[in-house]
Chains A and B, each alone.
Chain A
Amino acid sequence: MAAPVRNHVWVGTETGILKGINLVKKQAANYTDVSSVTRDQEVNAMCWGDPQESEILMGCKDGTVKVYSAEKSKFTEFHDCRGGEGVFRGLGVVDNAIITCVESGLLKVWQEGASDSLELQVGAGVQKMRHCDAHRQKVGTGGKENDLKIWDLQKPEEPIFRAKNLRNDWLDLRVPVWIRDLDFIPDSDKIVTCTSYHQIRVYDPSSPQRRPVLEAMYGEDPLTALSITPDGRSVVVGNSHGNIAVIDLRKGSVLCTLKGCAGSPRSIQCHKSMPLVASCGLDRFLRVHHLNDKELLHKVYLKSRLNSLLLTSRDKWEEEERVAPVDQDVKDEEDEVWDGMETVEEKTATKRQAVTREPDADGVVKVPSSKKQKKKKKVA
């Protein structure tokens, strides 16, 4: 375990265990001491600690936030982030400060070392707090009878956007609100939410309209999780019966469904650049689907109910496992495309050297690498 852990997926379970899965080597391991965990340490939220994805933050049911360092391969910090009532509904990191949000609606920013933390009341019944990747000061919240609000952490007095409920229905009854998950569409201001009433809604804060600009329905069961595809044009949603569908965000139509799920997904995440989507949930399986050909690429049984998941944003998964440093140099010479990624390359190179001391990776795994590389070149 001395070498840094290079897992592709990290999963937090209902029993409080952090599991790491290397999809290329097809290995899964527990990174929490199994004998010490109890059900009070159930993992409710997870996020990356830094942009390099070397640290993982886990929000547990007992109000602690654990920091796992993948490089040191151990838990480095334990923060006591108790406050408010209920479990963590979202976790984020901004400039070494941890953002937590609990069910009762208390959003807190825990500065390192500082005793006074920024506190924010976002309304009761929060089901999800999501931190925006592009604008690090922006968070979105929503929940049961608590419509979407977007907050700027620099101006915490008022939300910068507050959604307005739909008009009353044809019986002149109020439309109920129950947001289960939300996400920010990259390269735009727009936000997607999914609800327990099987609606998918798109809000656009840049337009004067506070009501959703698009509403789509999927199935008849509550939607539990969502994730935006890398191109930002569609969204992957899962419902409580274990149906996962890709929904087009321009027309609101179902593009395709991803088969194989038996239980309700708790967390879905798309890869940042590759057309991959990982999902996990109550059926105790981690599944990785290919977005374009709907194929089930990986299916890993992880023994306990899975609550949250983090998918790495690295690409070239097979290479990093078994590229010798010599090959590396040759590649650098022949391919100018990679020059733009110098900093990352150096880092990975050192890691690779460390890795090569170990015996090479065994079996060859069919992850569609050729396609990805071709795509890369086109983009460049």
Chain B
Amino acid sequence: MPHIIYSAWGSTCPAARPPGSVNNSCKYSDAPAEGHGAPGPSLEQDVLLPPTFSVSEIKNKQRHHYMFLKLKQDRRREKLALKKKRKKERVALGDKAPPKPVPKTIENQREHDETTETDEFAPYFNKQTTPKILITTSDRPRGRTVKFTEQLSSIIPNSQVYYRRGLALKKIIPQCIARDFTDLIVLNEDRKVPNGLILSHLPDGPTAHFKMSNVRLRKEMKRKGKDPTEHQPEVILNNFTTRLGHSIGRMFASLVPHEPQFTGRQVATFHNQWDYIFFRFHRYLFKSEKRVGIQELGPRFTLKLRSLQKGTFDSKYGEYEWVHKRHEMDTSRRKFHL
């Protein structure tokens, strides 16, 4: 008895019917195909048509359950067979096989949003580029600055330290672009003390000029941890609220690769308070569900934004998006720009 019902179901869904199941109902299964093909079927043919059938119409609960399981099994079997067949074809084709289709996800089918940021950092945040950073200094750096550049490059993944060798920045930048660097960091030194930092995003800017102070190297830190590992750190950007702050924050964020390696438990913090940006580098440890321990790894320094320039470094003929003018802007103690 179940066999007959099964074949009746097969007539409605010819694709799902296993091949070789020939029985009485086959006659019926052919009839509707003709009926659909020929326009205006006669009354007699209509009478011959089997009643349309689907699992959901079965009233008997046990029967319905049984049939439904059967249907699912069949579908699965078919799917696996198709998969096997495709795989076989791929192996047969070898290198000539067409590329695998990209699976559809909610992420990659995201609807267009007109407010998506389209600034110079968009390629980084759209995961089209990975940061590659060149760190250099002003000409003839002395002890502390040299050490600082080394420690900075140990923190920033995929960064390289180069000696300046008296080269002009405007000459370095085209070479950097040709070698696919995405950022350029230049440390300035005055009387052996690092006092300035130029951060330039490549290839089309912007360029930020910071005043740097309170540099403390790893060696000078109290209760410091062991040297940082080569894991990609997490980045925390605190309190960058204004439009200008956002662009500066995006600039810092784009120094470090997108996916942090959480196993390293290392975190770089850019904390903005009163327009001073405090940099700290920590390792953390979850001691229990409630307690977390942090250990500073160093170095630490403080930055203050002097200017933001559109385009790559061109201090003479470049156009400035924002320049800090102390006498004009710092009229109120409660006004902050970042």
Contact = CB atoms under 8 A, between A and B. Distances in A.
Interface of A: 15, 34-35, 38-39, 196, 222, 224, 240-242, 259-260, 262-264, 282-284, 303, 305
B320 A263 contact: yes
A38 B310 CA distance: 19
A49 to B, nearest CB: 27
Contact of A264 (B112, B114, B320): B320
Contacts of B316: 222
Interface in B290-338: 310, 316-323, 325, 328-329
B243 interface: yes
B118 interface: yes
Given A240-B319, A263-B323, 6 more contacts: A222-B317, A240-B318, A240-B320, A282-B310, A282-B319, A284-B243
8 contacts: A196-B317, A224-B319, A242-B320, A242-B325, A262-B323, A263-B323, A282-B322, A283-B321
* 7 tightest Cβ-Cβ pairs between the two chains A and B: A264-B319, A35-B114, A282-B321, A263-B321, A240-B319, A262-B322, A241-B323
Contacts of B320: 240-242, 263-264, 282
Interface of B: 112, 114, 118, 243, 310, 316-323, 325, 328-329
Given A259-B328, A260-B328, A282-B310, A39 B321 contact: no
Contacts of A282: 310, 319-322
A39 B118 contact: yes
Nearest to B122: A39
B208 to A, nearest CB: 13
Nearest to A224: B319
A282 B310 CA distance: 8
Contacts of A34: 114
Contacts of A241: 320, 323
B329 A262 contact: yes
Contacts of A260: 328
A355 to B, nearest CB: 31
A260 B331 CA distance: 11
Nearest to B337: A262
A263 B114 CA distance: 26
Nearest to A38: B118
Q: Which of the listed residues B243, B319, B322, B328 has the most CB atoms from chain A within 10 Å of its own CB? A: B319
A222 B311 CA distance: 15
Contacts of A283: 321-322
Nearest to B324: A262
Contacts of A263: 319-323
Contacts of B310: 264, 282
A263 B320 CA distance: 5
Contacts of B329: 262
Nearest to B112: A35
B205 to A, nearest CB: 11
Contacts of B319: 224, 240, 263-264, 282
Contacts of A284: 243
Contacts of A222: 316-317
Nearest to B328: A259
A38 B114 CA distance: 9
Nearest to A303: B243
Nearest to B329: A262
Contacts of B321: 263-264, 282-283, 305
Contacts of A303: 243
A135 to B, nearest CB: 32
A158 B310 CA distance: 38
A34 B319 CA distance: 26
Nearest to A39: B118
Contacts of B323: 241-242, 262-263
B99 to A, nearest CB: 29
A303 B328 CA distance: 22
A303 B320 CA distance: 17
A198 to B, nearest CB: 11
B326 to A, nearest CB: 12
A143 B319 CA distance: 17
A29 to B, nearest CB: 16
A305 B308 CA distance: 14
A222 B314 CA distance: 12
B255 to A, nearest CB: 23
Contacts of A259: 328
B243 to A, nearest CB: 7
Q: Which of the listed residues B112, B310, B320, B328 has the most CB atoms from chain A within 10 Å of its own CB? A: B320
A260 B139 CA distance: 36
A299 to B, nearest CB: 13
B30 to A, nearest CB: 54
A38 B322 CA distance: 24
Contacts of A38: 118
Nearest to A37: B114
A38 B320 CA distance: 23
A260 B335 CA distance: 14
Nearest to A178: B317
Q: Which of the listed residues A15, A224, A264 has the most CB atoms from chain B within 10 Å of its own CB? A: A264
Nearest to B243: A284
Contacts of A305: 321
Contacts of A196: 317
Contacts of B325: 242, 262
Nearest to A196: B317
A283 B328 CA distance: 15
A279 to B, nearest CB: 14
Contacts of A242: 320, 323, 325
Nearest to B323: A241
Contacts of B114: 34-35
